[in-house]
Structure formats: structure tokens, C-alpha cells
Amino acid sequence: MRFLFWLLVLSWSVALLRGVVRWMLRESATGRRGPDVTSSSDAVGMARRLVRDPVCGAHVAEVLAIPLRDGAELLHFCSIACRDEYVLAGGDKNTKKLAASG
């Protein structure tokens, strides 16, 4: 009976050790380390930045907006519908009227 008890404890220990090693390898493969002050402050600053949708005029957080590059300009949209409306309207000239009235 003692032999079975120690065999069970040993097998649980090995399983726990394998899990810890697997977790450490996964963390090192993704390149994550402890909290980095500069990267977290950049993420907070970026999350607070609002951009304006050129079609409907809504303000959206930059990290949630749908980007579209139109020539040299990067535009941000609140939804796929607004982005599609911008593309169908033919770009900058027609959407300025939409944003002013919306």
C-alpha cells in the first residue's frame, strides 16, 4: 500500500513538473516577460486616442477602428458599413458632405 501511495505522489509530481516546464517554454516562445512600463504606457495612450469616421462622423478608439489607406492618408472607420460606403462613394469629395450632415 505504501508503494502505491508513493507511486501516486511521484506521478503527480512529474505531471506538475511537466506542466510548469511546458508553461515556461510557451512563455519564452511568445517573448513575454514581466510588465514593461514603456510598452504598457504606449498601449494605454493608444487606447485613449480617438479618431473620427469620415462617413458618419462618429469618434472611435483607434485600436477598435477599421483602417483603410486611401493614397497617402490612413482613414479610420467605426464599422465595415461606413468603410464600404466610403469606398462606394468614390472617396474624399463625397464623404465630406456625408460627415458634415451626419
- Find, among 50, 57, 51, the residue nearest to 97 by Cα: 57
Query: Is residue 90 within 8 Å of 54, Cβ to Cβ?
Result: no
Q: What is the pLDDT of residues 73-83, one digit of tens each?
A: 899 999 999 99
Q: What percent of the chain has pLDDT over 70?
A: 72
Report the CATH fold assignment for 46-102: Ribosomal Protein L24e; Chain: T; (2.30.170)
Cα(57)–Cα(69) distance, integer angstroms: 18
Please report which residue ranges of 31-78 form alpha helices under DSSP H: 37-48
Torsion of CA 59, 61, 62, 66, to 10 degrees: -70
Q: What is the pLDDT of residues 3-35, one digit of tens each?
A: 999 999 999 999 999 999 988 888 777 765 555
Q: Where are the domains positioned within the chain? A: 1-32, 46-102
